[in-house]
Amino acid sequence: MAGRCGTPLRSWSPQRLGHIAGPRLYSSQSPTVAVLFQDIDPPVINGVRKPRKPGGYQDSGADIAYTLQSKGIKVTTPDPSPQASKHEGWCFPDTEEGIISAIKNGATHLWANTILFESHPLQQSDKLTPYAPDIYIVGQPPGLVENCDDKAFLNDKLRSLGGYTLPKSWLVSDSGNLDEFVGSIQSFPIVGKPVRGRGSHGVQLCHSPVQLKQHIEALLSESPVIMVEEYLAGEEATITVMPPSPERPEHWSMLPVTRFNHADGIAPYNGSVAVTANSRAVTNEEMNDPAYGKIMEECQGVAKLIGATAPIRIDVRRFRQGSEFALFDINMKPNMTGPGRPGREDQASLTAMAAFAMGWDYGTLLQQILAGAQHLSVFRDYRSPF
């Protein structure tokens, strides 16, 4: 088990949380926003390809574009008059051609609602370079995402540094000694999952050696490396850490959102069950439990360490009822759906639910994220702390 964090926080107030960020270049101009969706398949990284979301996040992209527009922010779209009831037409593809098309349409701010990686056009495109002095990005640097989307990589780095509470975990990469590995597991149930996942894809609670072996074999058919992790049996929650902005030059944690109604110990994918049906923000009374403040502090430490420039969402869970929390899944691209468009009333994301508990509506959340947009030069010049 990793080392423990320091003194628990005395208050959950965001103003008390976080650490001072380094120099950043923020936009002072009125933005024209173009939202990008995933039109590029992620590459194979260390033998593993992250599953692509059907539709490429056009649903949340449309929510973002529509809601920013309703807040009076100028938004440019590939379709001059996209329909509020449809996902299509609101977002530009994240290809080199799509990005340049958005800029030629007047975009000053590109909202990268997509999966990024080191070879992505936002990082590497020479054709984009001439526009760099005038462009700002909402999103994580591609180099950050490529490294930290690997659950095993980031967890190992956090363990080596100490100060972070993590479950026990093992990497499995060779089915040849699978029986020996499964036989070494002393306690069930246990979780098997991909090292580069999306949502709950491939995550399963295994109750016996036979079930674990079968699940590992299924995962290894998709990926050469998978993770087996200690099952955390207590309360699950998720914590969004916001990036620095001109008004708040530090990373800070929003209120935790607690999860319930799990399916066999695992929170269901939000595409199957809306998170509004199985999640709620933690109450002020519940926040008197110092375990929340302690894990929020750890989450902020992760965001500061990796240099997050957009929200990250960290899933945490107690080892057992009433115990402290452990970090078990660090998401570089939180789901960002929200209500506003017709028929989307129940589509608040976990981050949006935390914002509602603070008194922000979905549009205000998006405006706060937009305020932290980084100049393309800062985005491209990111250097890993590891």
Instruction: Name the DSSP letter for residue 194.
Output: E
pLDDT reported for residue 21: 37
Same domain, 94 and 159: no
Given 230, 254, 277, the domain boundary residue is: 230
pLDDT reported for residue 20: 31
Q: Residue 109 domain-assigned?
A: yes
Same domain, 121 and 77: yes
Q: Which residues pair with 263 in a beta bridge?
A: 266
Given 187, 206, 230, the domain boundary residue is: 230
φ, ψ (nearest 5 deg) of residue 303 = -60, -40
pLDDT reported for residue 175: 66
Q: Residue 38 domain-assigned?
A: yes
How far apart CA 205 and CA 227 sit, in angstroms, is: 12
Q: Residue 303 domain-assigned?
A: yes
Number of folded domains in the chain? Answer: 3
Same domain, 40 and 133: yes
Q: Which residues pair with 314 in a beta bridge?
A: 239, 330
Q: Residue 62 domain-assigned?
A: yes
Same domain, 37 and 129: yes
Q: Which residues of 290-310 are buried (b: 16+ CB within 10 A; e: fewer)?
A: ebbbbbbbbbbbbbbbbbbbb
Q: What CATH code is carried by the domain that includes residue 179?
A: 3.30.1490.20
Closest to 25 in 3D by CA, of 267, 380, 317, 293 = 380
Q: Residue 301 domain-assigned?
A: yes
Q: Residue 375 domain-assigned?
A: no
pLDDT in single tens digits along all 386 residues of the chain: 333 333 233 233 333 333 333 455 666 678 999 999 999 998 988 777 887 888 999 999 999 999 999 999 999 999 999 999 999 999 999 999 999 999 999 999 999 999 999 999 999 999 999 998 899 999 999 999 999 988 888 999 999 999 999 999 999 987 678 999 999 999 999 999 998 877 677 899 999 999 999 999 999 988 888 999 999 999 999 999 999 988 898 999 999 999 998 877 777 666 667 888 889 999 999 999 999 999 999 999 999 999 999 999 999 999 999 999 999 999 999 999 999 999 999 999 999 999 999 999 999 999 999 999 999 998 999 999 98
Instruction: Write the single-letter amino acid at 287.
Output: M
**48 contact partners, CB below 8 Å, separation of at least 6:** 150, 194, 195, 196, 223, 224, 225
Same domain, 160 and 263: yes
Domain that holds residue 188: 169-230
Same domain, 256 and 337: yes
**335 contact partners, CB below 8 Å, separation of at least 6:** 60, 270, 313, 349, 350, 351
Same domain, 246 and 178: no
Q: Residue 314 domain-assigned?
A: yes
How far apart CA 260 and CA 207 sit, in angstroms, is: 20
User: Could you tell me the CA-to-CA distances from 383 to 10, 124, 141, 193, 305 in Å, in that order?
Assistant: 33, 15, 9, 28, 11
Given 123, 140, 157, the domain boundary residue is: 140
Same domain, 157 and 246: yes
**186 contact partners, CB below 8 Å, separation of at least 6:** none
Continuous segment of H or E residues that includes residue 32: strand 32-37
Same domain, 128 and 224: no
How far apart CA 314 and CA 159 sit, in angstroms, is: 16
Asked whether 121 and 111 are in contact (CB, 8 A), the reply is no
Structure tokens at 223: 């990926």
Q: Where are the beta strands (DSSP E) in 189-285?
A: 190-194, 204-206, 226-230, 236-242, 252-253, 257-259, 279-281
pLDDT reported for residue 26: 64
Structure tokens at 63: 């929510």
Q: Residue 383 domain-assigned?
A: no
For residue 31, whether the previous peptide bond is cis, meaning omega lies within 30 degrees of 0, is no
Same domain, 119 and 205: no
Same domain, 179 and 158: no
Same domain, 240 and 356: yes
Distance of alpha carbon 32 from its chain centroid, rounded? 24
* Sign, Cα dihedral of 330, 193, 143, 127: negative
Q: What CATH code is carried by the domain that includes residue 323?
A: 3.30.470.20
